[in-house]
Structure 1
Amino acid sequence: MNDVLEDWILFSKGERDFEKSHFLGLLKNQLDEEQLHSVFAGIPSGERLRQRTKSVLDASGLGNNLYFQPKSDGDRLLMVSAAKTWLEELSRFCVERRNAKLHGIVAGSRVVVQDRKSFQMPTSSDTPAGWMLSFVGDEVDYALGDVDTVIDGLMEALYGIAADYYLCWYVMMPMIPLSLNFDPYFSLWSQGARPVLTEDALVLLVESDGGAVDQHGYPVDAATHLKPEP
């Protein structure tokens, strides 16, 4: 048993105290089935959380990276379809929560596939991506309410898989009484995309953008799914 897992078991039983950041790398230790079960032992909805965590781990790999990366450089058609579903879910949720500003952004967003290397990541959180993350994070926190230190530590470990709060919330969905469905986000991420919301688009960052194509190899407009006219 690795040291962090041993610390986690003691922590989850209330036998030792740690800062939650101590468990950032807990799920990056190539845990086997028995060890993964031990992480969620005694946690409410633990088996469902374990299954969702395993889905994330099975769809990704660590390699020489600091955080897990999706294994699939996915089918562009499926990727764009998943992105549209995620935008629709965000739009619906923004309407439900009466956030007109973010609803206006996601409702008018097109989908763009772009090579990660050619995209300049924003350095400020004062962007549509940052606004959405803050909005959803506040809603999740409010829905969860006060949680104990073990759940705080678990969420830190889930974030540590891929440095992605949306994936953390995807796993935690069985415990979050919120109408926002994070399943489309996981579907999108597992196709190999890192989505970034901008003022007018959901940009899907991929390892190499060979251009979106349909099942017949025709170029596809990522925003519309239509084959260009000859």
Structure 2
Amino acid sequence: MRIDIVSVVPEILKGPFSSSLIKRAMNKGIMDIHIHDLRKYGLGKRKKVDDYPYGGGSGMILRIEPVYQCFDKLLSERDYDEKIFMTPDGILFSQKYANALTCKKNILILCGRYKGIDQRIRDHLISKEISIGPYVLSGGELAAAVVVESIARLLPGVLHNPDSMITDSFQMEKMGAPPIYTRPKIYKGWSVPKILLSGHHKKIKEWIFKKSIQKKLDS
């Protein structure tokens, strides 16, 4: 899978992509991530990418020309299954959509910045608008990193134990994630449930199933 990310401040993405699951996915050749600095397509000597909104109002708006030129170059090199814009007023990102994105070969993500982007970008260049929640960030970079990691952990070969992915809370639509424990058996008087230490696999599975159902009912 290849993911291209377009950003005005690409350095924000260096941290999330330089460690843990995403780095592992890249090192294994499972995921190929390319970050593009939108300012390289900016206007004039100062490489301007934003301007004041027509009709007045506060804040600066991302201009269409740099985005169009960047997209045009990338689209001349390959086709993209999705061209995503990260925005707080988009469709709420979900585990179901993360699963769907794993079937894509090439994904292009535009990170918003400033007050917003020229509407013509949304109308003519974007295929999907995605939000990671009903709140506002300074830009879409961290939101894009969230989407990329949620995809990465679903790709075969990334997780050391793929079974752990199957039992993730939002993978089980009718159940919640069961409580999980590790060593020590007792800490400050707080004990691991005896059933999990019993070695009785059938009863343990039944206990996990019941707890998962209860978690969903309580949510």
| TM-score grouping bracket, smaller chain normalisation | under 0.3
Task: Specify which structure has the bigger relative contact order, considering alpha-carbon pairs within 8 angstroms and separated by 6 or more residues.
Answer: 1
Structure with a larger share of its residues in helix: 1
Larger radius of gyration: 2
Higher share of residues assigned strand: 2
